[in-house]
Structure 1
């Protein structure tokens, strides 16, 4: 087991500090390249998962808003706003993910339907088979389905 591997597995914070220092000093030979690659790949996956999660919750609350108008609440509206903002923050931090959420929209919508059905106790078949919302509507702060 290399010193890098041992430190990576026993004290992640110390390993990270060491890697940052090596980069700042330009000491490329001191870098733990395999673990750095693993961490960078994980970071990108994490950002995608974060965006996907925001999208699922946004869609679920839009469905709840639309299909249970008598149950509408400030917390639902706040959740819609918060998840829109979350997507915007991820895109601001990583602009290359701007189109990612649109790519995963069909999959996220299926998951959102399940979530909305569980939370509302409505039959899942009541919701449209495909996402009924346009991309620009999803991110429009003023738009809510009727």
Structure 2
């Protein structure tokens, strides 16, 4: 006998309780009750997992870029905090690209998107004009990942 409740048309568990909905959908899948699965929302959730992984990696690159820009354009303010952040985010990049290897192949596109935000953040934090920073990211994905790379 099934532990998963039958999905009725008026049932909107997805909107009311996402956690209960996900447990129910997983149980329906385990039981092979494919006709009862909330296909539209399952598709949306699967796609959102991929978007979340990409967004997390973009955030890691963004922080590395932001701190490298500050390092390069305000050398007099360099700090251990900046190098710690760079090191931690590089570790996160490595981990996230190991978990989702296909994203490593999209690194150039992800870095470009991250750079647009990182240079604004760097400008805000340094009080330098946005025009101080190059239009495109001056660092390659390989440099952003490299444990010892710091621009001079």
Query: 2:76 maps to which residue?
Result: 70
Of 4, 17, 34, which residue of structure 1 is paired with 2:40? 34
Query: 2:20 maps to which residue?
Result: 14
> Which consecutive aligned stretches of 4+ in structure 1 deviate over 4 angstroms post-superposition?
none
Which whole-Å CA distance do the structure 1 matches of 2:143 and 2:20 have between them? 45
**Structure 1 unaligned residues grouped into runs of 5+:** none
Which whole-Å CA distance do the structure 1 matches of 2:73 and 2:39 have between them? 51
Which whole-Å CA distance do the structure 2 matches of 1:42 and 1:95 have between them? 17
TM, length-normalised to structure 1: 0.89
**Structure 2 unaligned residues grouped into runs of 5+:** 1-7
Q: Which deviates further from its counterpart, 122-131 or 13-22?
A: 122-131
Q: How does 1:106-121 map to 2 (within 5 A)?
A: 106-121=112-127
Query: 1:98 maps to which residue?
Result: 104
RMSD: 1.7
Query: 1:61 maps to which residue?
Result: 67
Choose between structure 1 and 2: higher helix proportion: 1
Which whole-Å CA distance do the structure 2 matches of 1:7 and 1:82 have between them? 39
- Would you say how many aligned residue pairs link Structure 1 and Structure 2? 145
